[in-house]
Amino acid sequence: MLESIGLTDKQRAILQRGADQARAAKEPAEQERILTATMGFFQKSLTAEQQAKLEKLRRDVRDSGPFLAAGLTEAQKAVIRKAQTQADQAPTAAARDAMMLGAFDQVEATLSEAQKQRLKASAPKVQPGSMIGLDEKQKAVMYDAQRRARSVRDAEGRKKIMRAAWEQVRKTFTPEQQRRNLGLLLDRVLQGSPLRGMPLTAEQFQTIQKAFDQAVKTTDRRQRGSIMAGAFDAVAQTLPKELQALYQARKQTHVERARRKAAPLQ
Protein backbone atom coordinates (compact mmCIF):
# COMPACT_ATOMS: atom_id res chain seq x y z
CA MET A 1 0.00 0.00 0.00
CA LEU A 2 2.86 2.39 0.83
CA GLU A 3 4.30 1.79 -2.64
CA SER A 4 1.59 4.10 -4.00
CA ILE A 5 3.37 7.15 -2.50
CA GLY A 6 6.51 6.42 -4.55
CA LEU A 7 9.03 4.89 -2.13
CA THR A 8 12.76 5.14 -2.75
CA ASP A 9 15.13 2.17 -2.35
CA LYS A 10 16.46 3.76 0.86
CA GLN A 11 12.95 4.02 2.33
CA ARG A 12 12.19 0.41 1.40
CA ALA A 13 15.41 -0.62 3.13
CA ILE A 14 14.38 1.24 6.31
CA LEU A 15 11.05 -0.59 6.42
CA GLN A 16 12.57 -3.98 5.59
CA ARG A 17 15.32 -3.65 8.20
CA GLY A 18 12.76 -2.68 10.86
CA ALA A 19 10.51 -5.61 9.95
CA ASP A 20 13.46 -8.04 10.09
CA GLN A 21 14.59 -6.72 13.50
CA ALA A 22 11.04 -6.89 14.88
CA ARG A 23 10.67 -10.51 13.75
CA ALA A 24 13.94 -11.39 15.48
CA ALA A 25 12.90 -9.75 18.77
CA LYS A 26 11.57 -12.14 21.41
CA GLU A 27 9.52 -9.78 23.58
CA PRO A 28 6.36 -7.99 22.31
CA ALA A 29 7.51 -4.76 24.01
CA GLU A 30 10.81 -4.91 22.12
CA GLN A 31 9.01 -5.56 18.85
CA GLU A 32 6.78 -2.55 19.45
CA ARG A 33 9.80 -0.35 20.28
CA ILE A 34 11.56 -1.39 17.05
CA LEU A 35 8.50 -0.79 14.88
CA THR A 36 7.84 2.60 16.48
CA ALA A 37 11.46 3.67 15.90
CA THR A 38 11.33 2.36 12.32
CA MET A 39 8.23 4.41 11.52
CA GLY A 40 9.90 7.46 13.07
CA PHE A 41 12.93 7.11 10.75
CA PHE A 42 10.62 6.41 7.82
CA GLN A 43 8.49 9.51 8.49
CA LYS A 44 11.59 11.73 8.62
CA SER A 45 12.73 10.41 5.23
CA LEU A 46 9.52 11.45 3.43
CA THR A 47 9.49 14.39 1.03
CA ALA A 48 6.72 16.97 1.15
CA GLU A 49 5.10 15.35 -1.89
CA GLN A 50 5.25 11.92 -0.27
CA GLN A 51 3.79 13.34 2.95
CA ALA A 52 0.83 14.72 1.00
CA LYS A 53 0.29 11.40 -0.77
CA LEU A 54 0.55 9.52 2.54
CA GLU A 55 -2.04 11.79 4.15
CA LYS A 56 -4.40 11.19 1.22
CA LEU A 57 -3.80 7.44 1.53
CA ARG A 58 -4.65 7.59 5.25
CA ARG A 59 -7.89 9.44 4.48
CA ASP A 60 -8.79 6.88 1.82
CA VAL A 61 -8.09 4.01 4.24
CA ARG A 62 -10.16 5.68 6.96
CA ASP A 63 -13.06 6.53 4.64
CA SER A 64 -13.10 3.18 2.79
CA GLY A 65 -12.76 0.68 5.64
CA PRO A 66 -12.25 -2.83 4.24
CA PHE A 67 -13.27 -1.67 0.74
CA LEU A 68 -10.20 0.40 -0.17
CA ALA A 69 -9.42 -1.65 -3.28
CA ALA A 70 -13.01 -1.31 -4.54
CA GLY A 71 -12.68 2.42 -5.18
CA LEU A 72 -15.73 3.65 -3.27
CA THR A 73 -17.85 6.54 -4.45
CA GLU A 74 -18.10 9.67 -2.30
CA ALA A 75 -21.63 8.64 -1.28
CA GLN A 76 -20.34 5.25 -0.07
CA LYS A 77 -17.46 6.88 1.80
CA ALA A 78 -19.92 9.26 3.42
CA VAL A 79 -21.76 6.30 4.96
CA ILE A 80 -18.53 5.12 6.62
CA ARG A 81 -17.54 8.64 7.71
CA LYS A 82 -20.94 9.18 9.33
CA ALA A 83 -20.66 5.85 11.17
CA GLN A 84 -17.15 6.75 12.38
CA THR A 85 -18.43 10.07 13.77
CA GLN A 86 -21.26 8.30 15.59
CA ALA A 87 -18.96 5.49 16.78
CA ASP A 88 -16.58 8.01 18.35
CA GLN A 89 -19.45 9.09 20.61
CA ALA A 90 -20.70 5.56 21.38
CA PRO A 91 -20.82 4.66 25.09
CA THR A 92 -19.42 1.13 24.70
CA ALA A 93 -17.03 -0.84 22.50
CA ALA A 94 -19.91 -3.12 21.46
CA ALA A 95 -21.92 -0.12 20.30
CA ARG A 96 -18.94 1.14 18.29
CA ASP A 97 -18.43 -2.27 16.69
CA ALA A 98 -22.12 -2.54 15.81
CA MET A 99 -22.15 0.92 14.19
CA MET A 100 -19.08 0.28 12.06
CA LEU A 101 -20.04 -3.27 11.04
CA GLY A 102 -23.54 -2.06 10.17
CA ALA A 103 -22.07 0.69 7.97
CA PHE A 104 -19.81 -1.83 6.23
CA ASP A 105 -22.83 -4.06 5.57
CA GLN A 106 -24.70 -1.06 4.13
CA VAL A 107 -21.82 -0.17 1.82
CA GLU A 108 -21.27 -3.79 0.78
CA ALA A 109 -24.90 -4.00 -0.35
CA THR A 110 -24.34 -1.03 -2.71
CA LEU A 111 -21.13 -2.24 -4.36
CA SER A 112 -21.30 -2.35 -8.15
CA GLU A 113 -20.11 -5.39 -10.12
CA ALA A 114 -16.98 -3.46 -11.12
CA GLN A 115 -16.22 -2.66 -7.46
CA LYS A 116 -16.76 -6.30 -6.49
CA GLN A 117 -14.37 -7.40 -9.23
CA ARG A 118 -11.71 -4.94 -8.04
CA LEU A 119 -12.05 -6.27 -4.49
CA LYS A 120 -11.78 -9.85 -5.72
CA ALA A 121 -8.74 -9.04 -7.85
CA SER A 122 -6.97 -7.38 -4.91
CA ALA A 123 -7.51 -10.32 -2.52
CA PRO A 124 -4.31 -12.25 -1.68
CA LYS A 125 -3.92 -15.24 -4.00
CA VAL A 126 -3.30 -17.91 -1.38
CA GLN A 127 -3.66 -21.55 -2.39
CA PRO A 128 -5.18 -23.76 0.34
CA GLY A 129 -2.37 -26.27 -0.18
CA SER A 130 0.27 -23.70 0.76
CA MET A 131 -1.40 -23.15 4.14
CA ILE A 132 -1.97 -26.84 4.79
CA GLY A 133 1.58 -27.87 3.93
CA LEU A 134 1.29 -30.43 1.11
CA ASP A 135 4.09 -32.92 0.63
CA GLU A 136 5.84 -33.36 -2.74
CA LYS A 137 3.60 -36.22 -3.85
CA GLN A 138 0.46 -34.24 -3.04
CA LYS A 139 1.83 -31.17 -4.83
CA ALA A 140 2.54 -33.31 -7.90
CA VAL A 141 -1.12 -34.35 -8.06
CA MET A 142 -2.23 -30.70 -7.94
CA TYR A 143 0.38 -29.56 -10.50
CA ASP A 144 -0.72 -32.31 -12.90
CA ALA A 145 -4.35 -31.24 -12.48
CA GLN A 146 -3.43 -27.60 -13.16
CA ARG A 147 -1.58 -28.67 -16.33
CA ARG A 148 -4.60 -30.65 -17.57
CA ALA A 149 -7.04 -27.89 -16.59
CA ARG A 150 -5.14 -25.29 -18.66
CA SER A 151 -5.97 -27.23 -21.82
CA VAL A 152 -9.72 -27.16 -21.08
CA ARG A 153 -11.64 -24.16 -22.41
CA ASP A 154 -14.79 -24.67 -20.36
CA ALA A 155 -14.56 -23.04 -16.90
CA GLU A 156 -16.80 -25.68 -15.32
CA GLY A 157 -14.62 -28.40 -16.83
CA ARG A 158 -11.51 -26.82 -15.30
CA LYS A 159 -13.20 -26.63 -11.90
CA LYS A 160 -14.21 -30.28 -12.15
CA ILE A 161 -10.61 -31.35 -12.77
CA MET A 162 -9.29 -29.30 -9.84
CA ARG A 163 -12.04 -30.48 -7.49
CA ALA A 164 -11.31 -34.11 -8.31
CA ALA A 165 -7.59 -33.59 -7.73
CA TRP A 166 -8.20 -31.85 -4.41
CA GLU A 167 -10.49 -34.68 -3.28
CA GLN A 168 -7.75 -37.16 -4.18
CA VAL A 169 -5.18 -35.20 -2.18
CA ARG A 170 -7.56 -34.69 0.74
CA LYS A 171 -7.84 -38.46 1.20
CA THR A 172 -4.09 -38.60 1.85
CA PHE A 173 -4.01 -35.87 4.53
CA THR A 174 -2.01 -36.51 7.66
CA PRO A 175 -3.75 -35.69 10.98
CA GLU A 176 -1.92 -32.33 11.09
CA GLN A 177 -2.92 -31.48 7.50
CA GLN A 178 -6.51 -32.43 8.31
CA ARG A 179 -6.45 -30.14 11.35
CA ARG A 180 -5.18 -27.22 9.26
CA ASN A 181 -7.73 -27.87 6.52
CA LEU A 182 -10.60 -27.92 9.01
CA GLY A 183 -9.31 -24.65 10.47
CA LEU A 184 -9.48 -23.03 7.02
CA LEU A 185 -12.98 -24.39 6.47
CA LEU A 186 -14.16 -23.09 9.84
CA ASP A 187 -12.77 -19.63 9.06
CA ARG A 188 -14.64 -19.67 5.73
CA VAL A 189 -17.86 -20.73 7.48
CA LEU A 190 -17.52 -17.89 10.02
CA GLN A 191 -16.84 -15.31 7.30
CA GLY A 192 -20.05 -16.36 5.56
CA SER A 193 -22.13 -16.22 8.74
CA PRO A 194 -24.02 -13.35 10.45
CA LEU A 195 -21.20 -13.33 13.05
CA ARG A 196 -18.55 -12.20 10.55
CA GLY A 197 -16.29 -9.46 11.85
CA MET A 198 -17.72 -9.56 15.37
CA PRO A 199 -15.26 -9.83 18.28
CA LEU A 200 -15.72 -13.27 19.86
CA THR A 201 -14.46 -14.52 23.20
CA ALA A 202 -12.59 -17.82 23.54
CA GLU A 203 -15.72 -19.42 25.01
CA GLN A 204 -17.90 -18.22 22.12
CA PHE A 205 -15.41 -19.49 19.56
CA GLN A 206 -15.24 -22.83 21.39
CA THR A 207 -19.02 -23.18 21.05
CA ILE A 208 -18.70 -22.71 17.29
CA GLN A 209 -15.69 -25.05 17.12
CA LYS A 210 -17.60 -27.87 18.86
CA ALA A 211 -20.55 -27.46 16.51
CA PHE A 212 -18.23 -27.45 13.50
CA ASP A 213 -16.51 -30.65 14.69
CA GLN A 214 -19.96 -32.24 14.89
CA ALA A 215 -21.13 -30.85 11.54
CA VAL A 216 -18.20 -32.18 9.50
CA LYS A 217 -19.05 -35.72 10.59
CA THR A 218 -22.30 -35.72 8.59
CA THR A 219 -22.65 -35.79 4.80
CA ASP A 220 -26.12 -34.25 4.93
CA ARG A 221 -25.63 -30.64 3.86
CA ARG A 222 -28.93 -29.49 5.38
CA GLN A 223 -28.07 -31.09 8.70
CA ARG A 224 -24.63 -29.43 8.70
CA GLY A 225 -26.26 -26.07 8.09
CA SER A 226 -28.75 -26.66 10.90
CA ILE A 227 -25.98 -27.56 13.37
CA MET A 228 -23.96 -24.44 12.55
CA ALA A 229 -27.04 -22.16 12.55
CA GLY A 230 -27.90 -23.42 16.02
CA ALA A 231 -24.37 -22.66 17.25
CA PHE A 232 -24.43 -19.19 15.72
CA ASP A 233 -27.77 -18.45 17.39
CA ALA A 234 -26.46 -19.72 20.73
CA VAL A 235 -23.40 -17.47 20.49
CA ALA A 236 -25.52 -14.50 19.38
CA GLN A 237 -27.55 -14.75 22.58
CA THR A 238 -24.35 -14.11 24.58
CA LEU A 239 -23.39 -10.99 22.57
CA PRO A 240 -24.00 -7.43 23.79
CA LYS A 241 -27.46 -6.20 22.80
CA GLU A 242 -26.07 -3.88 20.09
CA LEU A 243 -24.36 -6.79 18.32
CA GLN A 244 -27.39 -9.02 18.86
CA ALA A 245 -29.48 -6.52 16.88
CA LEU A 246 -26.91 -6.51 14.06
CA TYR A 247 -26.82 -10.32 14.11
CA GLN A 248 -30.60 -10.54 13.72
CA ALA A 249 -30.55 -8.03 10.85
CA ARG A 250 -27.83 -10.00 9.07
CA LYS A 251 -29.64 -13.27 9.70
CA GLN A 252 -32.79 -11.88 8.11
CA THR A 253 -30.77 -10.77 5.09
CA HIS A 254 -29.32 -14.29 4.78
CA VAL A 255 -32.82 -15.80 4.95
CA GLU A 256 -34.17 -13.45 2.28
CA ARG A 257 -31.17 -14.10 0.03
CA ALA A 258 -31.60 -17.87 0.37
CA ARG A 259 -35.32 -17.55 -0.35
CA ARG A 260 -34.67 -15.58 -3.55
CA LYS A 261 -32.06 -18.11 -4.63
CA ALA A 262 -34.41 -21.03 -4.05
CA ALA A 263 -37.40 -19.38 -5.76
CA PRO A 264 -38.29 -21.02 -9.10
CA LEU A 265 -37.47 -19.00 -12.20
CA GLN A 266 -40.46 -17.11 -13.54
Question: Which percentage of the chain shows pLDDT scores above 70?
Answer: 95
| C-alpha angle 252-109-68 in degrees, rounded to nearest 5 | 135
pLDDT digits 0-9 by tens, 140-199: 999 999 999 998 888 899 999 999 999 999 899 998 888 888 888 888 899 899 999 999
Kindly report the backbone phi and psi dihedral angles of residue 112, in degrees, each rounded to the nearest multiple of 5, phi listed first: -80, 170
The arithmetic mean of pLDDT across residues 233-252, rounded, is 95
- Residue 109 vs residue 63, higher pLDDT: 109
The arithmetic mean of pLDDT across residues 89-113, rounded, is 93
Q: Is the pLDDT of residue 58 over 90?
A: no
Kindly report the backbone phi and psi dihedral angles of residue 6, in degrees, each rounded to the nearest multiple of 5, phi listed first: 80, 65
What's the pLDDT at 237?
96
User: Among 176, 186, 184, which residue's Cα sits nearest to residue 134?
Assistant: 176
- Please state the length of the chain: 266
